[in-house]
Amino acid sequence: MRGSQVIVEMLKAYGVELLFGVPGDTSIPFYEALYDARPAIRHVMARDERSATFMADAYARLSHKPGVCECPSGAGPLYSVPGVAEANASSIPVILITSDIPLSGEGKQTITELDCQGLFQSITKFSAVVKTVDKIPETLRRAFRIATSGRPGAVHLAFPNEALTGNCRVAPETLYAEAACRHYPAFRTRGARPQLEALAAHLTSAQRPLIVAGGGANHAQAGAVIQTMAEWLAAPVVTTISGKGLIPDDHPLALGVTGDNGYHPHAHRAIGAADVLLYIGCKMGSVSTINWSMPKAGPDRKILQIDLNPEMLGNNFQNTLSVAGDARLVAEDLLILLKGIGPQRQPGAWMEELNAARQAFWDQTAAGFRAEGSRSSPSVSSVP
């Protein structure tokens, strides 16, 4: 097989069904292989490379599979930067494939010559140029593994013309995929038992526990177990803008969004009054904490944090306890421990107070919409 065919066979092995992109002169060998692979992989043509990368990002968020996109050399990679940077910052596994000029044209002022590896180095988890056909299988496996494991993110691979058109000499059995990396997050990790026991003790001793869930909890598909844990603890749930939708908005314990992107005042009220805050899959960055102004420190306040990436634990606040692990797995283990400690709690006066504030907010909002609607609607006499 030619290199382009090897790429397509590897994508098929990883269960890639949709590929977003824009054709160009350097990507013709790749498109020939895609044409021969129909209908296993469907190519979705974008108007430009920016759209293709954002399509791959959206696909990954909805399918929990890596989003794959491609573009030709030159302006293609430059247009791809915004979508790739957004995916990487949001922990979304997007794999960008760029076709490139021949290696024989390097340094000769070949049109569209660009250091693509350097371009994407700072905005991806991994950026590489695959210069030989025989390296394609292992490099693609590495790309999918890096994109889907740990903190998921974006990956970039550049394929010069020689890699796309050369003949593959590796054995057919090397064209395999790692099944765990067909979805994300791959290779989930659990928290250590002593830390989980300490976490459960802090939560059961709380008078006003609060759960703050971020995008990491959404990526881990932890909504169901977090909702069950919140119901067991009678703890309200606040989400960041990327954690929105984790539990139904009309749930009695759902207090809406925190942070400076469309926050709900009753959500901030809960953060200000809680004595134990459990952050799950939340980096506690500038948006969710309003430039790190909340939660405020206090002698009787405890901050607990669960995050897949150990680098984020206690990065911006002094945590009482930090637990590294997948949001869903840690929450599942934590729920078992909580149920073994004591009976399920019932919502008390604090929850009633927060729900009253929530209802007042929405009543006021609805009244404002009605008033605005009556001002903007034409009167009967003015209608022709």
DSSP string computed for 45-97? E-SSHHHHHHHHHHHHHHHSS-EEEEE-STHHHHHHHHHHHHHHHTT--EEEE
Kindly report, residue by residue over 296-312, the tens digit of the pLDDT.
988 889 999 999 999 99
Q: In whole angstroms, give the CA distance from residue 100 to residue 26.
A: 6
Q: What is the pLDDT of residues 311-327, one digit of tens each?
A: 999 999 999 999 999 99
CA distances from 74 to 31, 104, 108 (A): 17, 16, 15
Output the DSSP codes for 163-215. HHHSBP-S-GGG----GGGGSSSBS-----HHHHHHHHHHHHT-SSEEEEE-H
* Helix/strand/coil for 156: strand
Coil, strand or helix at 302 = strand
Mean pLDDT of the chain, nearest integer: 93
Q: How far apart are CA 338 and CA 4, in angstroms?
A: 53
The structure tokens listed for 138 are: 């292992």
Residues 156-176 have pLDDT tens digits of: 999 999 999 999 888 888 999
pLDDT digits (tens, 9 = 90+) for 91-100: 999 999 999 8
Give, for 321, the enclosing helix (H) or strand (E).
Answer: strand 321-324
Tokens of 229: 């844990």
Helix 327-341 vs helix 223-233: crossing angle, to nearest 10: 30
pLDDT band at 261; cut points 50, 70, 90: confident
Cis bond upstream, residue 252 (ω within 30) = no
Query: In angstroms, rounded to a whole number, what is the distance separating the alpha carbons of residues 378 and 34?
Result: 56
Closest to 125 (Cα-Cα) out of 99, 90, 159: 90
Give the position of tokens 């009220």: 269
- Note the pLDDT of residue 377: 60
Which residues of the chain are in CATH 3.40.50.1220 domains? Answer: 193-354
Residue type, 227: Q
| pLDDT at res. 382 | 40
Residue 24 has pLDDT above 70, yes or no: yes
Q: What secondary structure letter does DSSP report for 135?
A: G
- Rounded to whole angstroms, how far apart are CA atoms 328 and 325? 9
What is the Cα 192 distance to its own chain's centre? 24
pTM: 0.90
- pLDDT of 378: 56
Q: In percent, how much of the chain has pLDDT > 90?
A: 85
User: What is the pLDDT, as a whole number, of residue 104?
Assistant: 75
Confidence at residue 281, expressed as pLDDT on a 0 to 100 scale: 96
The residue among 242, 256, 236, 248 whose CA lies nearest residue 362 is: 256
User: Is the Cβ–Cβ distance between 329 and 189 less than 8 Å?
Assistant: yes
Superfamily per CATH, domain 3-182: Thiamin diphosphate (ThDP)-binding fold, Pyr/PP domains (3.40.50.970)
pLDDT band at 262 (very low <50, low <70, confident <90, very high): confident
Q: Report the alpha-carbon distance of residue 302 to residue 198 in Å, rounded.
A: 12
CA torsion sign for 130, 164, 138, 98 is positive
**Other C-beta atoms within 10 Å of 47: how many?**
8
pLDDT of residue 383 exceeding 50: no
Of the candidate CATH numbers 3.20.20.150, 2.60.40.790, 3.40.50.1220, 3.20.20.70, the domain formed by 193-354 belongs to 3.40.50.1220
pLDDT tops 60 at residue 202: yes
Q: How confident is the model at residue 239 (pLDDT cuts 50, 70, 90)?
A: very high
CA distance 371 to 152: 45
Q: Is the pLDDT of residue 384 over 50?
A: no
Angle at 168 between CA 166 and CA 172, to 5 degrees: 160
Digit-coded pLDDT (tens) for 111-120: 777 889 999 9
The proportion of the chain whose per-residue pLDDT surpasses 70, expressed as a percent, equals: 98
pLDDT band at 381 (very low <50, low <70, confident <90, very high): very low
CA–CA separation, 364 and 265 (whole Å): 12
| 107 pLDDT above the threshold of 90 | no
Residues of the chain with CATH 3.40.50.970: 3-182
